[in-house]
Structure 1
Amino acid sequence: MNTTRWGTALALLPLAALPLAPATPVALATPDALAAPATAAPPAQAREFTPIEDRYWNDAALRELLGDPVDSEQGDGAVTYRQFQHGWLFHTERTGVAEIHGDIAARYDSAGGYASLGAATSDELIAPDGVGRYNQFTGGTRGEASIYWTPDTGAQGVWGAVRAFWAEKGWEVGYLGYPTTTTEATPDGLGEQNQFVGPDAAGASVYSTERTGTHSVQGAIRDAWIAQGSETGPLGYPVTDELAAPDGVGRYNEFSGEQAGVAYWHPDAGAHWLTGAVLARWDELDRQSGYLGYPTSDPHEVEGGTQVDFQRGYILFDPVTGGVSDGPWS
């Protein structure tokens, strides 16, 4: 029986006799493409990459750090920006493409994102101590801003007048140290405040209002101020930074309050505050340089009125008569 050997016959046909399918190029998968999620593919349209796309698609480590895009690229005049799963990319002609990621990006989002803080001016930077990390931002509705991170403080934002004050005092390497909270409005809505690590990690506060300016309170004086209610207590907002007393030993802050107030610290007397008529009388007696010395108590009620104790005596205010008396310890 004769059997046709089709394979041999076809092999012997001239190539021109065989119909050919149109040529279709095959894209070879790269290792990056194989590892990336299906959604993480370069734009298919035939156009040039934007600076943000160019950096993102040509930097595998950056793609892993930021994850997939979650929004299209946005523009705002000279700035373009794009959000990703774990961070953001920004571009300006002056700064090029800058990124933020991780906890700093999370704080950026919670603070209002681009509308509030603007664009990052560089990639995440290492602080001078080698521990902290930070990004600076061009500023949006909150003005120029910074977000600093350490393992102990987390990522905290500082902006506005508080940031300008902090920068003037040396940023995180100055006496205020790293921020431990993010800038927020004070309860009365009159100002803004931030808390910081402070000298010797004893804590420091920076408060700012249009009326009182921007000032810091720290250490034991800050503790005494907080104990009497911070800015909502009798002392009110600070109107000076911590100052050295004339003897070079004591320290003090002046405060606004309904009646002017002060808080003094001395290593032998501790930190205490006074205000109103008692303070006015102490002023007349040349404060700590006078015969009474430094305060050793806060105002407290005694028979006959409100009294503040001092190293060598007392001042007593009588709320019934409005009179003030003082004297040495007998």
Structure 2
Amino acid sequence: MTRQRTRLRTAAGRALLGLAAPMMVVAGVLAMVLAAPASATPESDADAAISAAWDDAGGDTGPLGGKDGDVYAVGAGFGQNFAGGKIFFTPQTGAHIMAGAILDKYQSLGGPADSDLGFPTIDEGPGRAPGSRNTTFSAADNPVIFWTPDNGARVVRGAINAAWDKLGGSAAVLGVPTGDEISRGEVISQQFTGGEVSWNRKTKAFTTTPPELADQLAGLEVPSDATSEIAAARRAAGGALGPLGAPDGGQYAIGSDGVGQNYAGGKIFYSPATGADVVTGQVLAKYESVGGPTGDLGFPTASESDGGLAPASRFVPFAAADKPVIFWTPDFGAVIVRGAMNAAWDKLGGATGDLGAPKSDQTQNGDVITQQFNGGSISWDQSTHKFTTEPANLQSQLAGLEVPGADAPKAPAAEPSSTAGKKWYAWSWWWLLGLIPLLALVGLIITAVLRNRRSRDDHFGEHYDGEHHEGDGYDGDRYGEDEYAAGYRGPHDSGFDGRAESHEPDEYESGPAAFGQEPGGYSPQSPWALAGLGAEEHDEAGEPAQPDAHESLEFDSDADSVDTAPTRIQSDVPEDDDDLSDRDEVDHDDEPEPETAAVPLVAGLPPIPRSTYEPDFPSGRHAAIHIEEPDPANTSMRLAGSDPYRAPEGYLIKAHTGTGEYWTPGMPGYDQTPAEIWFVNEEFAVTNGFVRAN
């Protein structure tokens, strides 16, 4: 028994000794883990670095004084406030102290979060000039804020800073800066106590005062990068307080080497060949409607600037070989002028010359390119290389003019629109969807016309025997050219002759031919046929019956009679030769001649006073248009009737499906363009796929 116990004790002791070694290892590891400090974080690194810089500056008893709150994130780094200044930190720049007027200047420009200076790279310290102080920053163009008691804190950066250093800095001939940089177009200038340095962003050339200093700057390398160039272009445009406003997202690539930056009020486009340039507003919308920097205009070569016309105009040139520009005015919007048109326009004085501002994009007919301007037009024959002008006396000034990029692609006549300026023939699904209600309306009208025809054929068939047209009092001359011209001219121009404003061949016929009517005879396309008045009505005695002057004819397809209703005839019946070709003509010999101050209606109805269809609209393409709201019971659109120039009541927006464009009263071309559809307002025109005409 004793021996057995001894053996058990020996085995237990050996087991305990076997477990002791690993247990000791585990205990040691646990002790090391518990004793290890917590892993570092960006905030802890920033706190440690800022605290070390504060301690080195004397802590509570140093110039910064006590802490004013904890470390906080700002921009791409961190900061901490103190009673006498601030310390800013990033892992790349370290922790650096700023105070006084230099700190105030830095924060007035947006500080580390919103300025384009970056973070400080040195502690604020004395400069070379007596009594001066300075701090350098991390932005790629090496900016510095330099302070003197006499001139305050000034920013010197980029090419100006490189030239200042090359000429010896603040202790040499130029002295210290007396003001911040000033932008004059593409030239940036800065004043110093000993002179001035200017830098042209496009030509990359220095000029100086005194002039001899420029010789010392010949061949000076000025670093250039997209970020610095974009920042400089934004500063030249007024910075955060200018038209661009705040950044909208980060930079993005364009093509192989371009860069773009969006802002609340516009965009900046950069390429190594063109630099960085600002484009805003309707000029930007036009530019992007034809492809922007990846389209055939190329990158802008200068920032948007004043076009030189009062009260307002804007101008941007582009890099394509034919030297295109976009010129904007309040009256005509943004228009592209390029190639031969731009060369001739510039030769004749541009917007301030005889031709004035461009009215619309160039058009091409065969080899001839034409563009309309406020004071005339220019045409260029590509085959003969000859110019013609209107007025003609300008043509002699263009003899021998060299045309840049004569073989370059010509700008399409793109319409500015909120739908990215697509061509009318590039139909989108929205355009197709917009046609659905229009097609339904056309189908209903055609169905009604066919039913009316069958009803009237049953009731009046005895009068259409081929002999009734003779001896009915119609002399064939009632609507000759003289009488027709007096009563069927454009509703806004009693002298309209059917020709468009441009110098193209005649697009519209005047007189009876405008409606498909042969002079001296009846045609199924005449205004009367389109209005549904091609046949006489007879009473029970067989005598012709005349409708009341204020009543319209309504045909009941289910009855053998014709009713009248006290409503005006809506002349929006589509043309249908088969339905109308075999009707009798109405004798209108006894109608009074319409006055020039009114537009004639159908037979027997009084003319509408001009004031009801020609309101006093504001002039100018972009002027506000106030249109009286129509009866909500009416539809949003109406097909044009027999007179495509007369607006139905409440439908003042005219549209043309052949071009996909619409016109508002007061716009150029409104009076001369026949409508195919009338809309209540512009919103419905846009919804149905039409774009505003140039």
TM-score (norm 1): 0.54
1:134 aligned to which of 108, 114, 118: 114
Return the match for 1:257 from 320, 333, 345.
320
Q: Deviations over 1:184-241 (max 9, x none)?
A: 333131x4331222xxxxx322223343233212111121122222223333222222
- Whole-Å separation in 1 of the counterparts to 2:40 and 2:357: 71
Q: Which residue of 2 aligns with 1:175?
A: 243
Confirm or deny that 1:51 pairs with 2:49: yes
The worse-fitting range, judged by mean Cα deviation, of 175-184 and 305-314 is: 305-314
- Asked if 1:246 is matched to 2:313, the reply is no
Q: Is 2:293 the partner of 1:231? A: yes
Output the CA distance in 1 between the equivalents of 2:289 and 2:381.
24
Structure 1's 246 and 172: CA in aligned 2 closer, same or farther, altered over 3 A? closer
Q: How many residues align?
A: 230
Pick the aligned partner of 2:271 from 180, 195, 209: 209
Max radius of gyration: which structure?
2
Q: Name the residue aligned to 2:376.
A: 313
Aligned-residue sequence identity (percent) comes to 22
Amino acid in structure 1 at the alignment position of 2:295: G
Contact 2:234 2:278 (8 Å CA) reproduced: no
2-structure distance, mates of 1:318, 1:41: 75
- Counterpart in the other structure of 1:279: 342
Q: Which amino acid aligns with 1:98?
A: F
Which one of the candidate residues 84, 88, 91 is aligned to 1:98?
88
- In structure 2, C-alpha distance between the alignment counterparts of 1:119 and 1:143, rounded to whole Å: 19
Q: 1:186 to 1:312 in 2, by over 3 A?
A: same
User: Contact between 1:269 and 1:295, CA under 8 Å: does it hold in 2?
Assistant: yes
The AA in structure 2 aligned to 1:247 is L
Q: Deviations over 1:243-292 (max 9, x none)?
A: 22333332212222112121111111111111111111111222223333
Q: 2:329 aligns with which of 266, 275, 279?
A: 266
Matches within 5 A, 1:9-20: none
Judging changes above 3 Å, is the alpha-carbon distance between structure 1 residues 317 and 62 closer, same or farther for their aligned structure 2 residues? Answer: farther
Amino acid aligned to 2:357 = Y
Q: Distance in 1 between the 2:77 and 2:358 partners?
A: 53
SS state of the match for residue 369, structure 2?
strand
Superposed CA RMSD in Å reads 4.5
Q: CA deviation at 1:178?
A: 0.9
Aligned to 2:284: 222
Instruction: Report the Cα offset of residue 315 of structure 1.
Output: 2.4
Contact 2:50 2:89 in 1 (8 A): no
Distance 1:40 1:323 in 2: 79
What is the identity, as a one-letter code, of the residue corresponding to 2:363? H
Task: Encode CA deviations 1:40-64: one digit per residue, 9 max, x unaligned.
Answer: 789xxxxxx9424769xxx9x858x
Structure 2: distance between partners of 1:305 and 1:121: 67
Distance 1:258 1:119 in 2: 49
Q: Which amino acid aligns with 2:307?
A: A
The whole-number CA distance in structure 2 between the counterparts of 1:312 and 1:50 is: 72
The residue type paired with residue 324 of structure 2 is: G
Contact 1:99 1:122 in 2 (8 A): no
Report what 2:260 is aligned to: 193
- Evaluate the alpha carbon distance shift between residue 292 and residue 88 of structure 1 in structure 2; reply closer, same or farther with a 3 A threshold: closer
> Quick check: 1:278–1:324 contact (8 Å CA) kept in 2?
no
SS at 2:114 equivalent: strand
- Judged with a 3 Å threshold, the aligned counterparts in structure 2 of structure 1 residues 87 and 297 are, in CA distance, closer, same or farther, namely closer
Deviation (angstroms), 1:326? 2.7
**Contact map agreement 1:144 1:160 (CA 8 A) in 2:** no
| Aligned CA distance change for structure 1 residues 301 and 159 (closer, same or farther; 3 Å) | same
Structure 1: gaps (5+ residues): 1-37, 43-48, 67-85, 101-113, 146-157, 198-202
AA matched with 1:173: L
Please state whether the residue corresponding to 1:137 is helix, strand or coil. coil
Deviation for aligned residue 1:127: 8.3
Task: Give the aligned residue type for 1:251.
Answer: R
For the residues of structure 1 that align with 2:325 and 2:95, how far apart are their CA atoms?
41
- Give 3-state SS (helix, strand or coil) of 2:298's partner: coil
Q: 1:207 to 1:267 in 2, by over 3 A?
A: same
| Aligned match of 1:288 | 351
Query: For the residues of structure 2 that align with 1:242 and 1:87, how far apart are their CA atoms?
Result: 31
Q: Is the 8 A contact 1:87 1:99 kept in 2?
A: no
Contact 2:239 2:245 in 1 (8 A): yes
Q: Identify if the C-alpha distance between structure 1 residues 160 and 245 changes in structure 2 by more than 3 Å, giving closer, same or farther.
A: closer
**Which letter does structure 2 place at the counterpart of 1:271?**
A
Match of 1:150 in 2: none
CA distance in 2, matches of 1:275, 1:247: 19
